[in-house]
Amino acid sequence: MPDRPTLFWFRDDLRLADNPGLAAAQGSGQPVILAYILDDLSPGVRPIGAASRWWLDKSLRALGERIAAKGGRLILRRGAARTELANLVVETNASAVRWSRRYGPAREIDARIEADMTAGGVRVETFNASLLVEPVQMTAASGAGYKVFTPFWRALQARIDLSPHAIEPGKFATTDPSLRSDALDSWELHPVNPDWSASIAEAFEPGELAARRRLRTFLGTIDGYAESRNRPDLSGVSRLSPHLRFGEIGPADVWRAAKAAEEAENADPADIAKFLSELGWRDFSHHLLYHDPEMSRLCWRRDFEDMAWRTPAPADLSAWKEGRTGYPIVDAGMRQLWATGWMHNRVRMITASFLTKDLLAHWRIGEEWFWDTLVDADEANNAAGWQWVAGTGADASPYFRVFNPSLQGETFDPEGEYVRSWVPELAGLPSKFIHRPWEASAPVLAQAGVELGATYPRPIIDHAFARRRALGVYGVAGKGFSLEGKLH
DNA sequence: TGAAATGTTGGGGCG
DNA sequence: ACGCCCCAACATTTC
């Protein structure tokens, strides 16, 4: 039956180029049905956050336009993936379904669907479009998953398959116009009442083509990345995370482009290596989630669940969320997140340390806030990042590492430009006091137009006190653990 | 991919 | 000239 179509199911791989499953579908010679299913009904699925919904909306729009330009149509369906995919197969009489593999709890859904399809005589083929090396290929000497980044990274680099770049697909066959598709607008992914997305749209442009432009621009200015990546006041980082989250670009393509930049000798190998290791951390997070699907809710080191976490006072929690803690770099970061759906990685560590160490709140509270507000919120990276800072994760920061927000600010935002741009009420302060306004004298504050407790809050907690308290509480939970396997 | 406390050193002021 | 002290600068240890 050469006329039977084949189905390609888009998930977290919203791109046409370098998409191996899509290339295989087109290579089959059959007409290709292209579909996306908005699944917030499958049991166990965690609905994506508000900022991610905004991004998804734009990314699907961009993908739909790219497909339309090649003569095809992106079919949109909403519901439990198992039901909707079965419906599509029946409606189109597809003989095969292809998709890119997932590595979190959604694996169970995919396994069930694959079993359904196979039982119904529909062929299933799955592909890796999202990781450098998949978890199943990454087995440590012990036979289990890796628990420490450095050996993981070494092993990954030894196993990475630099097979040639999958090419951009050609024209798509016209899809039966009677095949039903939801209107993207009917999904209401774009916020209304209020529409808070304008400042996100200023900061980012979703879509595959924009992702590739971003990568090119970044690699052209990667000089000094190893240092500047820690500086939120500079534009030293790639800002590719949301593009990678939605698969608008794949890590393999990023890897190849970075290597090409290195070989063209216009980039310092040390900068390239540092950047690639960040891709390595991304793979490592997915590797951890693969081996512990509950990692986004529970401490990877389960014993830390019993730690004496504090329920933050509602006022303290909202001060953290809204950037009113009285610690300028924390507040700048939380406001950048709220405004743009993204926060610089260094500042993610500082704000996360403040919540989990200074306020002693369970990291899950912060993970949930980031889940809702980040455009790059990803089950693996978000949980792994939070657990790294909280000291409850694999190869995590030791519990006694407590960030001092003032010192972090002075080290990584030395002139205070990052603070000034996100906390404008402090902009008039001299650099010497920009990260510790409570130490400025009355005339200095007056000169800057700052009135502590009025125009800008006093610190909601004394850091020196909070640090001692955290060391005590974490010290009990982390007994016998502080250095084991942590030195590398 | 820390920070604070504690220890050590060496230059310079000063009796 | 010498010893004593102070303390900044740096190193080490501890959490």
Q: What tens digit of pLDDT does each residue of A107-141 get?
A: 999 999 999 999 999 999 999 999 999 999 998 88
- Chain B: nucleotides below 7 Å from protein CB are 1-4
The enclosing H or E element of A144 equals: none
Count the helices and strands in chain A (H runs, E runs). 21, 5
> CA–CA separation, A208 vs A62, rounded Å?
7
Round and report the angstrom distance from CA (A235) to C1' (C7). 40
> CA–CA separation, A383 vs A105, rounded Å?
13
**Banded pLDDT at A2 (limits 50, 70, 90):** low
Class of the CATH domain delimited by A6-129: alpha beta
Token match 């050609």: residue?
A170
E strands, A68-108, are 74-78, 96-100
Name residue A40's amino acid.
D
Round and report the angstrom distance from CA (A438) to C1' (C9). 27
Q: Nearest-CA neighbor of A426 among A439, A164, A472?
A: A439
pLDDT at A479: 62
pLDDT at A161: 85
Residue A274 CB in 7 A reach of strand B: no
The enclosing H or E element of A127 equals: strand A123-127
- Chain C: nucleotides below 7 Å from protein CB are 15
Q: Which CATH number fits domain A302-477: 1.10.579.10, 3.30.365.10, 3.40.309.10, 2.40.340.10?
A: 1.10.579.10
Q: In chain A, where are the structural domains located?
A: 6-129, 130-164+206-291, 302-477
Q: What is the pLDDT of residues A4-19, one digit of tens each?
A: 999 999 999 999 999 9
Protein chain A, residues 307-366, with a C-beta closer than 7 Å to any atom of nucleic acid strand B: 345-346, 349
| Three-state DSSP class for residue A96 | strand
Q: What is the pLDDT of residues A307-345, one digit of tens each?
A: 999 999 999 999 999 999 999 999 999 999 999 999 999
Kindly state the average pLDDT of the residues A455-474.
96
> CA–CA separation, A120 vs A87, rounded Å?
12
Alpha helices (H) along A246-394: 251-263, 269-291, 314-322, 328-340, 345-353, 363-373, 379-390
Round and report the angstrom distance from CA (A191) to C1' (C2). 80
Give the catalytic positions of A in this structure: 278, 281, 309, 345, 363, 386
pLDDT at A203: 98
Round and report the angstrom distance from CA (A275) to C1' (B1). 14
**Banded pLDDT at A74 (limits 50, 70, 90):** very high
pLDDT over 90 (residue A213): yes
> CA–CA separation, A244 vs A19, rounded Å?
13
Q: In CATH terms, are A130-164+206-291 and A302-477 the same topology?
A: no
**Banded pLDDT at A167 (limits 50, 70, 90):** confident
Kindly state the average pLDDT of the residues A159-172.
85
Q: Nearest nucleotide, C1' to the C-alpha of A482?
A: C15
Instruction: Give the tokens for residue A393.
Output: 């994760």
Residue A397 CB in 7 A reach of strand B: yes
Q: Nearest nucleotide, C1' to the C-alpha of A408?
A: B2
As a CATH number, domain A130-164+206-291 is: 1.25.40.80
